[in-house]
Amino acid sequence: MTLNVAIIGSGFGGLAASIKLRKAGIDNFVMFERASELGGTWRDNTYPGCRCDVASNLYSLSFARNPNWTNSYSYQPEIQQYLLDVAKKFRLRDLIKFNHEVLDITYNADKKLWDLKTNHGDFEARNVILAAGGLAEARLPNIDGIDSFSGKIMHTARWDSSVDLQGKRVAMIGTGASAIQTIPEIVPLVSHLDVFQRTASWVLPHMQGHPVKKWTTLAYRFIPGAQKIVRTVGYWRREMLGLAFVKKIEKLQVGMDGAKLFRDLMVTDPVLNAKLTPDYTMGCKRILISNSFYPAMVQPNVDLITEGIDRIEANGIRTKDGVLHEAEILICATGFYVTDSPLGRKVHGLDNALLADSYMGDMANYLGSSFSKFPNLFMMGGPNTSLGHNSIVFMHESQLNYIVPAVKFALKKHAVISPKEAMAVEWTKTIRAKTPHTVWGTGCTSWYLNASGENTTVWPDQTFKFRQLTRGFKKQDHDITV
């Protein structure tokens, strides 16, 4: 049977797409999920201390608010539970083909259908929504000798809870968002931790993460609109930060001064303090929020190594100064394949175009959601729809305001639709032109930039503007063949 829609992934994006499709009266669709459970990045990231740095009221679906959050900034188990609850409430589980890894997605122009190859057989679909997520493919560092390490290697996104860290000598590579949450949790366990830092991060204190009071929960449950108001206030507070990121970069100095004060109070050793001092504008890489990272870094069993890694050997990590830092366990908090996601290499459109080129090359996209040579294919979390300052769930819902009506139109009219090349080129040009004037154009390396240094990841403007631009399906922007 030909599917109306094949959705790839069952994380926030896939689940939201399913709910919205169904609400639009579309049936006969499935979510292909390579794992045995739904949840995407919130299923995968089970490292100790894993938590969202966006408030739960905002980091949730607008049409599936949860009055029962126990913490204002939830930890991973509660977010994963939220997604499981959403799937239950909206009866989505039966739509998911678990353990189905999509190996290839190719457009068949004769049949006007997408052919999908999975590890459990082939399928065809009239429309495809890629919702595999930007933080799906864990990236191990490409460091000489990593295969020769004789101990256990773990990536934070593939945490093995059976590994006993108690009393062990541990090395951690990376000091990004995942690392700074993991470090405070493992420092009390390990005999020694060497943290290998390539770039110091901007760290701000967590001022608002706290258990939710009972009366607040009651208010969310029983006072109509109460939670929505809190969510809306939280959204606009974040947009103030967004304004500094995209228009008033000089205002970030206030944040940098505050972060310096915080660091100076927490890290009194001048050598360690200097090593932890970032050398780029705050916000160019993701701002980190933690009250426990600096206190962990000043513990006597922790060393911050900044000499640069030369290679990994059987017994540890050798730095460029020739010193071997012995370790029994190596933890890589080294991020994900974002701008070079392997999924992009599996999707072939018209003229054998490869979707990966939209990230790595110059191929144009439309609203970060569709591509001229990929008819009836849409991408959640596509180019320049990721965020540095607000909730990605808001962006997902914005994308769906375009994608769902587009799919509905295509199904109703039996149409082949794709964004006009000129529209996609225009959109991509406009986005590219914005970045140099934003904080992401101030000069730092991050996963926001592709191999050529172009920002192909972050939305370089305020999110309400994206919401305005993605309002509905504009026929005039598309090539349509019926």
Among 46, 67, 124, 143, binds ligand NAP (CB under 6 A): 143
Is residue 174 part of the contact set for ligand NAP (CB under 6 A)?
yes
Phi and psi angles of residue 33, each rounded to the nearest 5 degrees, phi first? -125, 120
Phi and psi angles of residue 416, each rounded to the nearest 5 degrees, phi first? -100, 120
Is residue 423 part of the contact set for ligand NAP (CB under 6 A)?
no
Closest separation in Å from C-beta 185 to ligand NAP: 13
Among 112, 117, 152, 198, binds ligand NAP (CB under 6 A): 198
Among 46, 71, 124, 141, binds ligand NAP (CB under 6 A): 141
Closest separation in Å from C-beta 138 to ligand NAP: 8
Q: Which is it for strands 316-319 and 324-326: parallel, antiparallel or unpaired?
A: antiparallel
Segment near ligand NAP (CB under 6 A); pick from 169-177, 263-271, 396-404, 461-469? 169-177
Closest separation in Å from C-beta 400 to ligand NAP: 21
Is residue 199 part of the contact set for ligand NAP (CB under 6 A)?
yes
Please, which residues have CB within 8 angstroms of residue 453's CB and are 6 or more apart in sequence?
A: none
Among 39, 335, 381, 419, binds ligand NAP (CB under 6 A): 335
Residue carrying structure tokens 């770039």: 199
Phi and psi angles of residue 466, each rounded to the nearest 5 degrees, phi first? -65, -40
Closest separation in Å from C-beta 131 to ligand NAP: 17
Among 16, 84, 92, 177, binds ligand NAP (CB under 6 A): 177
- 2 vs 445, beta carbon nearer ligand NAP: 445
Closest separation in Å from C-beta 348 to ligand NAP: 28
Closest separation in Å from C-beta 446 to ligand NAP: 7
Q: Which long-range contacts (CB under 8 A, 24 or more apart) does 152-156 make?
A: 152/328, 152/329, 152/330, 153/329, 153/330, 153/332, 154/329, 154/330, 154/331, 154/332, 155/331, 155/332, 155/333, 155/334, 156/45, 156/47, 156/50, 156/182, 156/331, 156/332, 156/333
Segment near ligand NAP (CB under 6 A); pick from 28-36, 108-116, 192-200, 407-415? 192-200
Is residue 339 part of the contact set for ligand NAP (CB under 6 A)?
no
Is residue 434 part of the contact set for ligand NAP (CB under 6 A)?
no
Among 405, 409, 413, 403, which residue's Cα sits nearest to residue 482? 413
How many chain residues touch ligand NAP (CB under 6 A)? 24
Closest separation in Å from C-beta 47 to ligand NAP: 9
- 96 vs 173, beta carbon nearer ligand NAP: 173
- 305 vs 377, beta carbon nearer ligand NAP: 305
Contact between 178 and 50 (Cβ < 8 Å): yes
The token pair at 403 is 């994608």
216 CB-contact burial (10 Å; exposed 0-12 / middle 13-18 / buried 19+):
middle
Kind and range of the H or E run holding 421: helix 421-434
Give residue 391's Cα distance to chain centre. Answer: 10
Q: How far is CA 17 from CA 143, 206, 223, in A?
A: 38, 32, 29
Which residue stretches of 247-371 are H helix?
Answer: 252-266, 270-275, 293-297, 357-360
Please, which residues have CB within 8 angstroms of residue 269's CB and are 6 or more apart in sequence?
A: 298
- 330 vs 423, beta carbon nearer ligand NAP: 330
Per-residue b or e along 239-262, where b marks 16 or more CB atoms closer than 10 Å to that residue's CB: eebbebbbeebeebeebeeebeeb
Among 11, 13, 176, 184, binds ligand NAP (CB under 6 A): 176
Contact mark string toward ligand NAP, 24..63, x via CB under 6 A: ---------------------------xxx----------
Among 7, 92, 309, 364, binds ligand NAP (CB under 6 A): 309
Binding site for ligand NAP (CB under 6 A): 51-53, 135, 141, 143, 156, 173-179, 181, 196, 198-199, 286, 309, 333-335, 447
